[in-house]
Amino acid sequence: MKTYTKRFGFMNNPAVAAEIASLDAQNDCQRIAHLLTAYEFSWDITRSLEVALFYTYGSESVATLLDKTGEFEQHGQKRYDDTRLLIAHFMDTGWEHGEGARALARMNKTHGNYRIPQADFRFVLWTFIAFPIDWMAKYARRAMTVHEQQAWFHFWIGIGERMGLTDLPANKADFDVWVDDYCAEQMTPNDASERVAAATVRIMENWLPKPLRGLVSPSVYSLMDDDRFVAAVRRQRPSAAFATVTKINLKLLGNLRKVWAIGAYPQTVQSPINRTYPNNRYEIENLKPVHLQRREAGNAVD
C-alpha cells in the first residue's frame, strides 16, 4: 500500500486526506482506519483510546472482572502494553490478514477464558468508536469529517462482528442511545471500579518523574465529562480552573499540529515507547494476561 512522507519535511501531507476522501467509508474502512491512525491523528487517537478504556472501568460489570484477575494491580504496565499492541496491530493492518488477524485472534482467545456478557463487549466497542470522534472535535488539529466518522464506525463494527458480537446497532446514533441505557444501569459507585481506576492512574504516574506524578490524576479526571463515571469510581473532579487549563493545553497542542506533524510519519506499532518489551521483542500470540500464562505453563508441566 502507498505510504506518505511529511510535506516539506515537517507538515502533514494533504495527499493522505485526499486518499481517505476517495475511498468508500464501509468497504475501505480498514485502509481509512490505518491512514487516520498512522498519519492524520496518530497521537490523538492513542490518547483518545486511553481515555476510552479508562471510561470502561466505570461499568461495574466490566470492572468486576478486571478487578478479579488482579492484572491491573499486579502487572499494570504489561496489561497496558499488551492491550495497546493488540489494538495497534489490527488498526495498522486490518483484521483480514497478517499481524492484524493474529492480534484479533489472540484477543478473542483471551476473552474466551472468561464469561463476558455481550452487553459489556458492546459497551467497550462503543467507547472505541465514540471517544476518538469526540476527541478530534475537541482537541485535535481538525475534527473527523462525516466520511471519516462513518468509516471509523464501520471499522469497529467489523471488529465487533469478528469478536462474535450480535445485534450491533446500524449507526452511531442508535449505539449512543443503547449505551446511555447501559451506563444508567452499570455506572453506579462500586469498589471494583474504584480499584481498577486507581490502579490505572498509578500506571500512568509511573511514566513521569516523581515531581510531576501528582498532576496525572487531576489531568485524567479533567477529561472525564460523564458525572456517572466520576461517581462510579468514587472520585472528585479537579477544580474548574485546573480542568480548563488542561483542556486549553490540549487545544493549543492541536493547533500546533495544524502546522507541524509532530512525531513519526507514519506512526507504526513500533513507534511508541514499549516499556514491557524492550526493542519490541514479543510474539503476538504471547500478549496475554500473566495469570493465563501461568495457567497454561502449569497445564504444560502436567
| 136-180 tens-digit pLDDT | 999 999 999 999 999 999 999 999 999 999 999 999 999 999 999
pLDDT (mean) for 18-27: 98
User: At CB < 8 A and 24+ separation, what contacts does 250-253 make?
Assistant: 250/138, 250/139, 251/138, 251/139, 253/139
Helix axes 118-139, 42-56, angle to 10 degrees: 140
For 91, counting Cβ atoms within 10 Å of its Cβ (0-12 exposed, 13-18 middle, 19+ buried), the class is buried
Residue 138's CB is within 10 A of a number of other CB atoms, namely 16
| 260-298 tens-digit pLDDT | 999 999 999 999 999 999 999 999 999 999 999 998 887
- Report pLDDT for 300: 58
CB 264 within 8 A of CB 36: no
- Report pLDDT for 32: 98
Alpha-carbon gap, residue 266 to 34, rounded angstroms: 10
Range name among 3-7, 229-233, 278-282 with the lowest pLDDT average? 278-282
HEC profile of 112-163? CCCCCCHHHHHHHHHHHHHHHHHHHHHHCCCCCCHHHHHHHHHHHHHHHHHC
Rg (CA), the chain: 19
pLDDT at 302 over 60: no
For 48, counting Cβ atoms within 10 Å of its Cβ (0-12 exposed, 13-18 middle, 19+ buried), the class is buried
Alpha-carbon gap, residue 204 to 23, rounded angstroms: 37
Question: At 274, phi and psi to the nearest 5?
Answer: -110, 100
Alpha-carbon gap, residue 296 to 176, rounded angstroms: 39
Which DSSP string do the residues of 219-259 spell out, in sequence order?
HHHHT---HHHHHHTT--PPPHHHHHHHHHHHHHHHHHHHH
Q: Is the pTM of this model over 0.75?
A: yes
pLDDT at 205 over 80: yes
How far is C-alpha 143 from the geometric centre of its chain's CA atoms? 18
pLDDT at 133 over 50: yes
Write the CA distances from 163 to 54, 64, 116, 132, 203, integer angstroms.
21, 21, 12, 21, 28
- Report pLDDT for 14: 98
CB 182 within 8 A of CB 130: no
Alpha carbon dihedral 100, 102, 104, 110, in 10-degree steps, equals: -150
Please give the single-letter amino acid code of residue 53: L
Cell numbers found for residue 143: 475534527
Alpha carbon dihedral 10, 44, 38, 77, in 10-degree steps, equals: 120
